[in-house]
Amino acid sequence: MLALTRKKQEAIVINNNIEITVLEVKGDQVKLGISAPKSIPVYRKEIYVEIQNANKEAMSQANVDVLSKLL
């Protein structure tokens, strides 16, 4: 993991087309602004994990459905 220190209004650039800017710092919270192409999805990690779990569950169910049709 790369750890960087940034101040308010400072940014980092990823892969020439994603920019993450520190907008505000209040106590233990940091507000970030993310500029990325619309083709690149950006999720909070907890939402991303939920999506991954739902996809795994759907694949498991799809496999059961396919197998039940074979029997």
pLDDT digits 0-9 by tens, 26-48: 999 999 999 999 999 999 999 99
Residue 41 tokens read as: 């999805």
Residues 19 and 56: their CA atoms lie apart, in Å, by 30
pLDDT of residue 17: 97
Query: Residue 52: what residue type?
Result: Q
Strands (DSSP E) along the chain, which ranges?
11-14, 18-26, 29-35
Q: Please check whether residue 27 is in contact with residue 46, taking contact to mean a CB–CB distance below 8 angstroms.
A: no
pLDDT higher than 80, residue 65:
no
Query: Listing from the earlier edge strand, what are the strands of the sheet with 18-26?
Result: 11-14, 18-26, 29-35
